[in-house]
Amino acid sequence: MSKGAAMLPKNLSPVQRQQAFTARQQRIYAFLNEHHTGVLSSVTPDGNPHGVVVYYTIDHDFNIHIITKTGTHKYDNLTHNENVILTVYEPTTQTTAQFTGFAVEQAGIKNINETANAIFVRLAADNEGLPPITKLEAGTFTTFRLEPVQIRMAMYARPITGGYTELFESIESFHLKNS
């Protein structure tokens, strides 16, 4: 079993899984599912921070799926240090979600095809082109599953002011488990 915490029993359908979310989980899931790009921050093999824009999909266990190539800095970083942060921002509502977790490579043609198809379908629906990674000559395709430890979301356009507890909604890994 992986280090990540599965949120709900695997025998539930995707619809049942989403219906079982708490209101907070639904808001965070809806935001992450509505968007498909974010800044993935990782650590280089020599310990320096590295950020890159990625296209992603999210599953009903709050795992984020990305596609990359084996000859990229991103791939080197994720295979040397699994710790990541994905930041997703929406300017109209000034909403930001910070996904902290770890990356697990999901090599294999089935995983690559599923992730690529999910990303490409979303891009086609939004009349966007292919992701930049498809244009880069840098090894073979692979995919990573980003498993959450914490997901924090803040909506700064709310009419309230305050500290972190008033502005942020958070799901910790222990809240992702079904009790």
pLDDT along the chain (179 residues), means of 10: 46 63 86 95 96 95 95 96 97 92 95 92 80 84 95 76 65 51
Strand-pairing partners, residue 155, are 95
C-beta separation of 56 from 119 below 8 A: yes
Residue 8 lies in a domain: no
b/e map 57-77, b = 16+ CB within 10 Å: bbbbbbbbbbbbbeebebbeb
At position 43, the amino acid (one-letter code) is V
pLDDT at 3: 47
Domain with 95, as residue range(s), is 14-176
pLDDT at 17: 62
pLDDT at 166: 64
Instruction: Name the token pair of 12.
Output: 């539930």
Residue 154 lies in a domain: yes
Question: pTM value?
Answer: 0.81
Residue 7 lies in a domain: no
Residue 160 lies in a domain: yes
Q: The domain spanning residue 70 has which CATH number? A: 2.30.110.10
Query: What's the total number of domains in the chain?
Result: 1
